[in-house]
Structure formats: structure tokens, C-alpha cells
Amino acid sequence: PKVSEQQTIKRRIILLSTPKEHISLERLISALFIMATSILKKIVRNEAMQTDPHQIYSWRVLALACSSCFGAMSFGWDSAVISGVVVMNPFMRDYGLNGTDDIEVANLTGNIVSTLQAGCFVGALAASPITDRWGRKPTLLATGFMIIAGVVLQAASSTELAPIFVGRFIAGLGVGAASSVNPLYVSENAPRAIRGLLTGLYQLFIVTGMMIAFWVNYGSDMNLVDRAKYIVPLTVQGIPAVLLVLCMFFNPESPRWLARQDRWEEGRAILARLRSLPADHPYIENELHEIHAQLESERLVMGDTSFMNLQKEMWLIKGNRNRVLISIVLMICQQMTGTNAMNSYAPTIFRNLGMTGTGSALLGTGVYGVVKVLGCLAFLLFAADSLGRRRSLLWTSIAQGVCMFYIGLYMRLDPPVEGQGLGATGYVAIAAIFLYAIFFQFGWGPACWIYVSEIPTARLRSLNVAIAAATQWLFNLIVARTVPNMLETVGFNGYGTYLIFGSFSFLMFFFVWFCIPETKGRSLEHMDELFGETRATTKGEDALSISNEKATV
């Protein structure tokens, strides 16, 4: 007889009341997750959440997502730590930044910050063929080791900038590769109903890394002396990479990658374990059938998986071209909100807004980091798989633009005066920075990574995400390199910088309105219904006839 979910929960409650010596840790965790599932169903409102077996929302898939996202934490930590380090007095003294004019300091600071992004751009592009050939798990392991090597070089530098540059570039190679593989790995393992929530953990770990880095900078500046003020932050940024390496030794390979290698039995076993269902359960059979059907359809279209064939498949078939172009534009838009200007130069921006002193500016960045984490958490719990990706992107475009325009107009019409306290308009400007952080984390931060990792076809998924990640890092690099000069030259205290980013935010609303369909609750194998189906009607040596339906661009 069929057992209802309510009966199952009651049994779990009885299990929890059983003496601890009679139950295993795994059964205890499983019981807690079954109880949490009933709460999750009230929060996440999509059809899949109501129809799919409740057993698939297990602790295993959450543990996999969280442990692999230490790569994302490295992304946030390494990006944010340098913003506080370069304004610390001992660092400026030891590396010859004192006594130079503001433009020269801005140029050198921009070079130090953007070296990481340059490495990330290269790493993101290189990750696609590596992860397709060797798998998601080995690639993530390799990224962890690269980040550790880069951090060691930075921490070992002694009044010379060369090790800082080389170390940040090497760390960037690892961070960039992880940014390409991490959301892909989580998305391929996540149940469809909560794929947005689990893939969005990538963004949550990014902002958590940033928050920790901001507070480490503040604590070091307040409590340590001399060179230790900046050596400690540069050293501890390697912690997430160490955790990533340790965790990935125990994580499984992606079942979808194994299916592409025709290792179906391994894929079935891993999928069954992640879903907490028997290997012959109808849900497992159906998920494997969908994976098999899509892979066979794609193989009929373009045959082998050589680099040139994948490029042809991506750019010559309209349904695939739609997806990669949307991914590229989304990542350009994400960076043109100005988010990484804030992340990389937060202490400078807070000082420009009237928060005097290095300590006050670093404290402001710490609070900014906390706000980002809370905003991202709210999005993942209440919006990612309920409100959806499209609506989140739409309303936050307008909200971000309003915040940026207020800050720009404040700096133009009522700027802070040195030696005087902040007025009411100044406090509102600082509040606008925090509101901007919340709005970004409620839309353009997590939603972009979720979207670009879920819309590609199976054969092109790693290549599509790699191109999207490389685009993100390219424009991140441009922003990181140009913003210090913009803050010095585009109006008083760079007020024009905020107006530029605000204008881009308003324009992004129209891109989302016309080009971005909703994807919440759909399986990865059913994205053709939104972006254009690709199926071969004939197959020849030099030409293929492709049917494209329901294309959106």
C-alpha cells in the first residue's frame, strides 16, 4: 500500500525520539531532511516540487552542492580581500605607494586588482575542454591546487610586487576554471524543482567569501601590527581552496558527464544515491531516459564531440546560438551593474561617500558583505524557484538603477565636505549602497549563474558555461581596471561612474523583458521548448537539415 508523505514524516519523528545508540548518523540526518522537505514545499512553489518524490531532496545533494561551492568562496574571498589590503598603510609603505599622486596610485591599484581577473578569464576558457575530457571532479580538484599555489606566492612576497602579480594570476587561473565548472557541476546533480536554489548556492558562497574577507581585513587592520596587517589576509584567503580539495576527494562525478562517456551503470548508481531512491525506481529510470534521449538527439545532429563540431553545433544551430548569446549578454549585463566595482574598491567608495579613516571604510565594507549574504539567502529561499529567474531580473534592474542614480546625484549635488560629518543625504547614500547590494543579490547575482548553467544542451553545457564565465571575467577585468581612474576623473569623487552603472541597469530591464523566458521547474532536458528545438531530419557529410522551434531570439 502507498504510504503518504504525512505518515512518512510521523515515522521520522518517531525515529528522532529513538535512543541515539540505536540510530545511525545518516538515518538521523535523513529524518531531519524529510521533515524539512515539508517546509520546503511550502516555500518553493513550482509544479515539479509538488509531483516529484520527496526522497530526492536529501542531505547528500545539499552536501555535494555546498562542498563543491568552496570554489565559489575562493572567487569571492580572493576578489574582495585585495580591496582592503591595498589601502592599508603598511602595504602602501612597503610596496612604495606612499608619496605618489592619486592617478598613479589608482593605476597601480587597478593593475594589482585586475591581475586576478586576467587569470580568471584564461582559466574559464581553458576549463571547458579539460572538464569535458577528464570530468567535473578532477577539474575542480585541480582548480583548488592552483588557487593554493597562487595564495602561497602572494603571502610569501616581501616588499616586491612581482610575486603579488604572479600569485594573483595563478590563483585567477584556478578561480576562473572553478567559476566555469562549479555551477555546471551543481546544476547537473540537482533535482529540477530546487535546481535554482542549489545552483544559487554558488552565488551565496561567493558573497560569503567576500563578507569573510571584508571582516578579516577589518579585524587585521584593527588588531594586528605592521606587516601582519596585510600578510594575514593574504594568507587566509587560501582556506576555501583547501576545503575544496578536501571535499572533492569524497564527492562523486556528475552522472550526466558519465552518461556522455557511455558509463551508464556508474551514472545510474550515483544518481540513485544522490536521489536516495533505488536504482530501478521509475523516477531514476525517467531521468536517465531523458538524459539518453537528449544525448542521442544531439549525436544525430552533429556526430562526434570534436572541438570544431561543438563550435559548429553551438553557432550554426539557432536554438543553441540563442542560448550562448543570451548567456554572453547576461554576464555582460551582470558586470555593468557595477557590482565588482563595489566589491573591488568598496573601502575607497565608502571613503568618497564621507566615511573618514581606513578603519571606518573597512567597517563599512564588512557591513556591506553581511547585507549581500542576507540578500542572497532571501533570494534562494523565497524567489529562485518560486518567483523565478525572469521576474527577479526584471524588478531588480529598476531597483539597482534607482540606487546608483541617487548615489551619483548625491555626489554631484550635495557631496561630503572634508572635516564635516555626514548629513541626512549622506546617510541615505550609504543606505543606497546597502540596498543596491540586496537588490543585486536578489536578482542579477545568483540568477545569472543559475540561468547560464541550466539552459544549454548536454553536449554544449560545459562550453556554454565556460564562454559565459569567460565573458563575466573579461568584463570584470575591464571594470576592475577602469573604475579606479573613473572614480578620480569622471566628475567630483567619480559621481559619473554611478550614473553610468545606473543607466546600464535601466537598459537591462528591456533585454530581460524581450529575451529571457522563465525556466523555473523545468528539467535540463526540456529547455528546447523555450529556446528552440534542435533535431536532425537528415544527416549528410557536409550539410544538415535542422528544425528550430519556439526560438526566442
Residue-wise burial string across 28-64, b where 16 or more C-beta atoms lie within 10 A, e elsewhere: bebbebbeebeebeeebebebbeebebbbbbbbbbeb
Q: Is the residue at 312 inside a domain?
A: yes
Most confidently predicted of 133-137, 530-534, 543-547: 133-137
Q: Is the residue at 199 inside a domain?
A: yes
Q: Is the residue at 73 inside a domain?
A: yes
- Cell of residue 282, nine digits: 521509475
Note the pLDDT tens digit of each residue in 454-490: 888 878 888 898 899 999 999 988 988 888 888 888 8
Q: Is the residue at 276 inside a domain?
A: no
- Domain interval for residue 429: 54-251+302-521
Q: Is the residue at 495 inside a domain?
A: yes
Note the pLDDT tens digit of each residue in 154-204: 988 877 888 999 999 999 999 999 988 998 899 889 888 788 788 888 889
Question: What pLDDT is attached to residue 408?
Answer: 93
Q: How many Cβ atoms are within 10 Å of 282's Cβ, its own excluded?
A: 11
Note the pLDDT tens digit of each residue in 502-544: 999 999 999 999 999 988 877 766 787 788 765 543 343 343 3
Q: What is the mean pLDDT of the chain?
A: 83
Question: What pLDDT is attached to residue 551?
Answer: 40
Q: How many structural domains are present in the chain?
A: 1
Question: What pLDDT is attached to residue 358?
Answer: 66
pLDDT of 362 > 70? The answer is: yes
Q: Report the candidate in 480, 404, 402, 392 with the shortest Cα–Cα distance to residue 444.
A: 392
Q: How sure is the predictor about 291, in pLDDT bands with cuts at 50, 70 and 90?
A: confident
d(CA 381, CA 441): 12
Q: Is the residue at 197 inside a domain?
A: yes
Q: Is the residue at 8 inside a domain?
A: no
Q: Is the residue at 396 inside a domain?
A: yes
What percentage of residues in the chain have a pLDDT greater than 90?
37
Backbone dihedral region for residue 2 (phi beyond 0: left; psi -120 to 50: alpha; all else: beta): beta
Note the pLDDT tens digit of each residue in 9-25: 455 544 444 455 445 66
Q: Are 154 and 208 in contact (CB under 8 A)?
A: no
Q: Any idea what the CATH number is for the domain that residue 488 is in?
A: 1.20.1250.20
